[in-house]
Structure formats: structure tokens, C-alpha cells
Chains A and B, each alone.
Chain A
């Protein structure tokens, strides 16, 4: 009798153990990608759709927790960054395999880094680590230990590895063998990407249950936001990762529990004037655009509160500078937003010799202040913003011609012909570390948008920004970096090469069938913890 009871207890315990080790069937998560993914190779990823797929399939050494904004161990149990910021050492977890069963070791990390830094690959992921000339050295100490040395200090070195998905050095499936929670199971070009649970994913929950909980993730390729919204309302989608503000309000009116406003995101919308000396513009216009007082006056004449309230339905904040207040560590809290003041704008312009005559502003040479403001077509928020700015500037006698162009034509004018006067665009997918904006602030860079690729800085303040950006990039001390970058922000506001307009809020929608979602401001806002989500 006792033995029989004992056997029963053992059997029950065994069943419980088996159940505990199995991931429960927890459904399929469905949402949309807005463009076709260009590649599944994690080292070549650049576009948003491919970044999303990499996030879900790629195994990384360290993971930035999108909620706490702190680094957490991933494939690496622990890591150490040298004082000079050039070297990082990882202690890896053992007993991990890729999705196809190939064992994971330090050799794979070395292989990934070498591939990433190979100049012939032109890996966008690798670009974040290219802080100076020279080769990267990888030293495999043991199957679970590796140290990587870069030729120059890399700012925020450990955080950069959040974007580095490790690929196998040996697997015949190459980059399709993954270490992340999901793997690509099917891809129908123009239609769907289906991700299935990675049976070899290393992570378990607190009860020893294997993650992810979800069976699969279905990503439908749908560029049109109206259709995405329709399908979400019909229950064909489980979440909308970035929700338009007008749809937010419509949904909130009927299903308030489905919408999430995580507050100001890191993204910004800004406009700038063409300060390129070789631009095909009349000299008097170049003089306007190069005048700090002119740019400051334009900034004062734009009603940012109205832009936030009208265009984004209150789901945006007036921008103060290059860093969003949501970036708590890096934001310079001493900066104050430009108050809307057409009178102050006019005074500033008058100090530069501009005169308001019969409702038209003229410069000291008698030229009427007329310029074009260009943005990309198809973005209804930007189109509305430029129209509102047109009216704001009309009040101080400035006539603005609104032009919307298709994106390639716009980029060509911005980067090659410099045939434009003012452009309104945004910075999106902005990361926390200001070093990611190095190529925006360095005067010699291609992306120094108001005046790219300067041979030498053309103004004293640009030279100062160059110095400060290099200083913060070469320092491993957060306090020193913060001081330097705080000053960059102050100069950026004083000189206004960019007129920062708004920081949009991070809006998303999650169906009630999804359990465990906790939308945040960092990308990917809603599925950053996909391995913990379930769908009823």
C-alpha cells in the first residue's frame, strides 16, 4: 500500500516536473511591420522592420531593460569595462545552444565581432563601435570567457552590445541559427514574417519554465496605419507598437484600457536652415540663415504648445533641446523651453536690421523675407506642422512656401545638391546615449545636417561642439561625459542650428488578450518583453 502510494506520488511529481519544464501553449502574438524587412542578417540590419525582427530573434550578451533602462545580463553572466573604455571582458553562460542545436561559445562572440568590424561588410551595427582607426582584437580565454579590445575608447561600450546579436561561427544555417526567444519560421515577401518559439532558448522563468511563453509571433507587413487600426479594432492584431495620436483618442474614447501613453519619447521633430556655403541660394538668404539672431527669432515665433496640442492632440511636449526630458540622465535640466513670443521675435529681427512694412518683413537690403519650408510627403503630422508654422511666421511678416517632397528627392536636396532653404524632419529611434548623435554634431560628418562635411568648423561654436563631443566620446566617466554634453545642449539651444519643435509621446495600443505587456518609451515600446508575454 505504502509502495503503491509512493509510486503515485512519484508519478505526480514527475508529471508536475515535466509540465513545469514545458512552456505552456500561450498563443500567437500578431502585429504589423510598416515596411518590408530588408535583411535577416543581424549585422546588416538598418531599417525598423529588420531591427524588430532582430530584437525578437537575436541573442545578445547584455540586454538593456527598456523599462528600467538598466543593463541586465543576457548571454553574458557578467562583464567588465576597462577604465580607458577600450576593452570589455565577458563571462558567458554555459550549456547554451543556437536554435539549430549548434553549441554556443566564446568563439561565436569572437566571430560575430570580427564580422561586425570587417570594413568590407559595412555593418551599421559595427559603426557604433568605430571610434577610431585600427583593428579590433578578440581574445578567447576559454569557451566561456572572451575579451574584446577596440583601437579607441567607445563611449557606453557595454550598452552598445545590446544591439549585437551573436551569430554562429559554425552553424550551416549561418545567421538563421539564433539565440533569441524566437526564430524565423516563414517569410512571405510583402505579406508576413512568422516567428516561432526557439526550442533551445536559454532563459527560464522563476519557476523553471522555459521561455518564451508565446508559441509564435506573426508580423504582417502593412505600411498603411489606417488599415492597421482597422484590423486592430477587428481583433486581427494584438498590438500597435507606435500609435497615431488621433487614433489614440478614438480608441481611448471606447476602449481606454487598450491604449497607453508612456509619456514623452526620445524622438524629436525639428527644422533647420540651409547654412551650406556652396548651396545654390541667393547671398542675402544665406546671410539670413547663418544669422543666429534670425534662427532664434524664428524659434520664438513658433507656437510649440499649439503644435503639441493641435497636431499631436496633446500627445507631445514642446521640445527644449536636442535631448528629450524623458532621457533623465542626459537631459540638461537647466535648459528652459523657448516661450512663444512673436513680439520678442520681431525685436530680435529688428536688431538685425529687419523691418516690418505693410505686413511683410524685409531685411536691411529691402528683400522680403520669403523662404520655402520642405518636409517629406506622406507624413501627415509633419505636413500639418509646416502649415501651422506657415501661419505662425505670417504673423511676423514672413512668407513661408510649404513644399512636400517624396523622401528620396528630399534627401538628395539635403545631402547632395543642397538645393533647399529650410527642412522639417525628425530624429527617430533615438537611443539614450548621446554618442549615437555624434554624426549629427561633428562638423565634419555627413549628417551634420545644416552644413555637412565641413573641412574645418566654420564657426567658433561648431568648433566647441566638436571638441566637447570628442571629449565625451573618449571618456569612460559618466559625470565627465554629462558635463561635456550638457554644454553641447546649451550651445545647441543658444545657436539654434536646429529649431527643436516637439518631443512626441510614445503611444501604443495593446489588446486585452495580451497579458504581461507594459509599454515604455524605448524601442520596441510594446514588445520589449516579448518572451514574457502571453495571448489568451
Chain B
């Protein structure tokens, strides 16, 4: 396991390093359109070919990595924190608190948040900077993505309420706040790590889908989500396997994240 963790950390560092070196590895940038070679396959000039309007795919993967690798985990942290707070706390308090919180969580799960997102976009000026647009998108994803985990965390915390060590700590006079933060929350790690790990690719993909509402990463900025959307023209991808590279890269990064998290869990146990 230690070797796997080391390999995973090395992979993550390599990916981060390469993305930060985008200016040197792809000096022409992600936006330049080579209009004489749109949809081209890999070549010496374009290692992963070009997209439909002739932009170098390798450059777009490199620059897109920065955006997705920075913001998706940040949004995942937000959603995990909110899930811990709402679900974990509700489960710890139990009784009516837990029932009310979970009813609201179920309601939250069922509502068509698409319309809130559309309204948020309408409230933003059309000429919003790409940075603001991206930050707003991932913030929204983080703020809306906590519901599934909250339920699981509530169930976990409800189980822990009756655990011997919690009863003992309560009997010893430990305050509720300390009990929750120091004793209960760390035991919720399995669900917390799962939520964090699932959220990263989910948010990357959601960001691309939010482009339909005018949110997300604006052109010409690339993101992993927008690169993965190329796979939706699946009829031809079989003939263009290089389009799978962003998927492979994302899968490798996500797997590496999980291996690092798993090692953390094992160490905690």
C-alpha cells in the first residue's frame, strides 16, 4: 500500500508539474486556431491532434488541467464540508433535528436546481470575466452537491451516537461541540473521503454540462469537462482514440487521489 501511495503522489505531482509547465510545453497556447488542420490526428506539431476548429488538443489538455485540478477539488471540499456539517450534525443531535434535516435534504435532492442556475446566470453580466464565471460555477456546484453525502453522514452519525466511546465521553462531561468535532467527525471519514473522491470528477463533468446555461468555463478557455464532451460524438471516436486521452488522464488523477485518501484512512485506522 505504501508503494501505491507513493506512486499515486508522484503521479499527482507529475500532472500538476506538467500543467504548470504549459507555457513551455505548449508555447502557442490553447486558443490559437490552426484553421488549415481542423480535426487533425496526432502529428509532430500537434501531439494529440487538433479539435474541430483547429486548436491544439495537447495544449488544451495542459491548460485545462490547471483549471479543473484546482477548482474541482476545492468545490469538492466545500460540498464535503457542508455535508459533514449538515448531515453529521443532524445525525449527532438525532431525534427531531435529524428527521427535519433529512426531510429538507430529500427535498433538496428532488428540486430542479437547473432553474436556480439559470437565474444565477441571468443575474450575472454577460461580459463577466472567465475567472469569475469559473469560480461562480464551481462554487455553485460545491454549494449544491452535498445532499447525497449528508444522508450517509447522518446515518453514520446516528450509529455513532450510541457508540460506547461517545457515551463514555458524554458521561465524562465532554461538551457536545468537542464531542462532535474531536470524536464523532473523525469517525465519519469513510463517508467523507468517499464524498470528496466522487465529487471531483462529478464536478468536472457538471461544469461542462453547465455550459448549456452559460455558466462554466467560457471560450476559449479549456477545461477537462469541455474536452470530455468531445467523446459525445461517439460515432467517430472509434476512429480517433486520441480523444480518449483526457478521459484516461482524469481517471488516472482520480484514482491517484483515491489511493492517497485510502492510505490516509488506513493510517487513521
Binding site for B on A (CB under 8 A): 226, 229-230, 233, 246-247, 250, 306, 309-311, 370-372, 374, 377-378, 380, 383-384, 386-388, 390-391, 401-406, 409, 419-421
Contacts and interface: CB of A to CB of B under 8 A. Distances in A.
A387 B35 contact: no
Given A403-B126, A404-B212, A406-B212, A246 B236 contact: yes
Contacts of A401: 126-128, 218
12 contacts: A246-B52, A310-B53, A378-B212, A383-B219, A386-B219, A388-B53, A391-B220, A401-B127, A404-B212, A406-B214, A409-B121, A409-B214
Given A371-B127, A390-B220, A401-B218, A306 B235 contact: no
B127 A372 contact: yes
A309 B236 CA distance: 20
Interface in B26-41: 31, 33, 35, 38-39
Interface in B102-132: 118, 121-122, 126-128
B211 interface: yes
A387 B214 contact: no
A230 B238 CA distance: 12
Q: Which 8 A-B pairs have the closest CB atoms?
A: A372-B126, A402-B219, A377-B212, A405-B214, A387-B219, A310-B38, A229-B235, A372-B127
Contacts of A246: 39, 52, 233, 236
Nearest to B239: A250
Contact of B214 (A309, A377, A390, A419): A377
Contacts of A306: 35
B213 interface: yes
A409 B219 contact: no
Contacts of B213: 377, 405-406, 409
Contacts, number: 81
A388 B54 CA distance: 10
B235 A310 contact: no
Nearest to A401: B127
Nearest to B210: A377
Given A383-B219, A401-B127, 18 more contacts: A226-B235, A246-B52, A246-B233, A309-B35, A310-B52, A377-B213, A384-B52, A384-B53, A388-B35, A390-B219, A401-B128, A401-B218, A402-B219, A404-B211, A406-B212, A406-B213, A409-B118, A421-B127
Most B CB within 10 A of own CB, among A226, A229, A388, A391? A391
Contacts of B118: 406, 409
B237 to A, nearest CB: 10
B232 interface: yes
B101 to A, nearest CB: 33
Question: For chain B, which range describes its interface: under 10, 10 to 19, 20 to 34, or 35 or more residues?
Answer: 20 to 34
B234 interface: yes
Nearest to A417: B122
Nearest to A412: B122
Contacts of A226: 232-235
Contacts of B54: 310
Contacts of B127: 370-372, 401, 421
Contact of A402 (B35, B38, B218, B232): B218
A419 B126 contact: yes
A165 to B, nearest CB: 36
Given A233-B235, A391-B33, A374 B211 contact: no
Contacts of A311: 52-53
Contacts of A370: 127
Contacts of A378: 212
Given A226-B235, A310-B35, A405-B121, A387 B212 contact: no
Contacts of A247: 235
B31 A391 contact: yes
Most B CB within 10 A of own CB, among A233, A311, A387, A388? A387
A390 B233 CA distance: 24
Nearest to A371: B127
A519 to B, nearest CB: 21
A374 B121 CA distance: 13
Contact of A387 (B53, B128, B211): B53
A53 B227 CA distance: 38
Contacts of A405: 121, 213-214
Contacts of B214: 377, 403-406, 409
A196 B47 CA distance: 53
Contacts of A387: 33, 53, 219-220
Interface string B197-239: 0000000000000011110001110000000000011111000
Most A CB within 10 A of own CB, among B33, B211, B219? B219
Contact of B211 (A230, A310, A377, A420): A377
B225 to A, nearest CB: 14
A309 B35 CA distance: 9
A429 B78 CA distance: 48
A306 B37 CA distance: 11
Contacts of A229: 235
Nearest to B124: A403
A329 B212 CA distance: 40
Nearest to B52: A384
Nearest to A281: B126
Most A CB within 10 A of own CB, among B52, B128, B232? B52
A409 B121 CA distance: 10
A230 B127 CA distance: 39
A306 B36 CA distance: 9
A213 B211 CA distance: 46
Contact of B122 (A372, A388, A409): A409
A421 B128 CA distance: 13
Contacts of A250: 235-236
Most B CB within 10 A of own CB, among A306, A419, A421? A306
A402 B31 CA distance: 13
Contacts of B211: 377, 404
Nearest to A253: B239
Contact of B126 (A374, A383, A391): A374
Contacts of A383: 219
Most A CB within 10 A of own CB, among B118, B126, B213? B126
Nearest to A399: B127
Contacts of A404: 211-212, 214
Most A CB within 10 A of own CB, among B33, B118, B211? B33
A370 to B, nearest CB: 6
B132 to A, nearest CB: 11
Interface string B123-144: 0001110000000000000000
